[in-house]
Structure 1
């Protein structure tokens, strides 16, 4: 199969991994007003998929062993597309929560297996992960940026606004349907268990969790923090958009730099330092734009590196999928707790200073974990 088509398959699949989450975020207030949702229920629409991405990630390995890699990814895309389309039937709290659950399960399957897909078809080019991470960021940014305009132009139709993103899923299903014809790998499935006793896998899971915790905390709270600093609602929303958009070129660039120069640990720590600088700037009440840019650079570099590590640490696509499933299992569960922790600290202290200090602690802990990660020394492969 042509490499260009394989890259297209990765791109369109990853494009679908975030819209079901980020399309809801700008409309949470509207959903609460129109459907009478409580704050807790509204938060489930964004927190539940992330929890599912962690809880159900181990199932990806089991399903891959039974159905095959490509077929399982197709099933995952079908679940995501179906869950998104389900929101077009009727606007109700029940439908929104159920679709968030189903969509989260689909994402939990596709996420780690796309890493295995890259390992299978591009074993010597782990930097291809940049397409995966950048596409996912693009999907998240598009859904977040256009939800309000679509809502306004559709005469305030919540069902249309939240379900229109299923179009991306239909496109992905068409692209991936080609792989359903291939039965060649069904007879040679290698069953691999999660590396739960592997120290390095545990460290990678902890790193992924701290990274995701920072990412979701900043995503959830950067606008409220800006508003508390005196920025207008429009400016606060723009800062969140900048934080998201800056990640796209960074996520495309960093894996290539790692592939060219090696020293993965150096780039991991460098990106973490960018996040550290961004948090310190916020604590010092410096202008938020450079702080948000630093945070975006850090997040944009850390995520593709977190996805790349299970690929470079393993030898086969089955192992890569198992390692990715484990790191994302623990990582997303920890990551989902980040915004809740920051919110609880803010509620208790009444100030974002304490919340920012907790983010500082998370970032320092993440750097500590990165220092514990040593290079995988194999023949012809450079160390960290």
Structure 2
């Protein structure tokens, strides 16, 4: 995709390297920050919005914004990976259910992530343009953002428990 935007193979490789580095650092630092400010919805929606901004910059602009979008996408996706591993702990009540759901989330996520490059390649072969596949990623990001509003957290569950027993 970076080559289609006019970058050489070297710069395209550097963009992937920057993305990977930022994603690794974010997947380490965001959970640490989460311990300091334990509002998971804030972080989940924040990472989704950062990813959305990165995709919008990637789709609708060129040049220096490619680097900004690469960093934003790395931060957003790097923060979302730890959340995919923490959400089963919030949504289940037994260790067995948490393990089963975590297995489902991780295996399904890796299968889905493995299929995305193939789908993007097929869309590019048909349209000779990355705009359609980028718009598909944008729609997936919006869907993720919409679902993030429906996810319960332990804090919400504890608040509901406390308020139900106050009566």
What's the TM-score, normalizing by structure 2?
Answer: 0.84
Alignment match, 2:24? 248
1:349 paired with 2:127, answer yes
| CA shift in 2, pair 1:366/1:274, >3 Å | same
1:311 paired with 2:80, answer no
1:133-152 superposed matches below 5 A: none
State which of 36, 39, 55 in structure 2 corresponds to 1:260.
36
Alignment match, 1:300? 78
* CA distance in 2: counterparts of 1:320 and 1:301, whole angstroms: 20
| CA shift in 2, pair 1:232/1:340, >3 Å | same
Secondary structure of 1:246's match? helix
Alignment match, 1:335? 113
| CA shift in 2, pair 1:249/1:335, >3 Å | closer
* CA distance in 1: counterparts of 2:151 and 2:92, whole angstroms: 15
* CA distance in 2: counterparts of 1:277 and 1:267, whole angstroms: 15
1:155-174 superposed matches below 5 A: none
State which of 253, 275, 281 in structure 1 corresponds to 2:51.
275
* CA distance in 2: counterparts of 1:247 and 1:328, whole angstroms: 17
Secondary structure of 1:227's match? coil
Alignment match, 1:235? 11
Gap regions ≥5 residues in structure 2? 162-167
* CA distance in 1: counterparts of 2:47 and 2:119, whole angstroms: 23
Query: Between Structure 1 and Structure 2, how many residues are aligned?
Result: 157
Deviation at 1:337, TM superposition (A): 2.6
1:15-34 superposed matches below 5 A: none
* CA distance in 2: counterparts of 1:240 and 1:332, whole angstroms: 19
Deviation at 1:284, TM superposition (A): 1.8
* CA distance in 2: counterparts of 1:329 and 1:282, whole angstroms: 28
Gap regions ≥5 residues in structure 1? 1-224
Alignment match, 1:326? 104
Q: Bigger radius of gyration, 1 or 2?
A: 1
Deviation at 1:317, TM superposition (A): 4.0
Deviation at 1:316, TM superposition (A): 4.9
Deviation at 1:349, TM superposition (A): 0.7
What's the TM-score, normalizing by structure 1?
Answer: 0.38
1:1-384 superposed matches below 5 A: 225-286=1-62, 287=64, 288-376=66-154, 377-378=157-158
* CA distance in 2: counterparts of 1:316 and 1:372, whole angstroms: 21
Deviations 1:154-195 (A, max 9, x none): xxxxxxxxxxxxxxxxxxxxxxxxxxxxxxxxxxxxxxxxxx
* CA distance in 1: counterparts of 2:115 and 2:43, whole angstroms: 26
Deviation at 1:350, TM superposition (A): 0.5
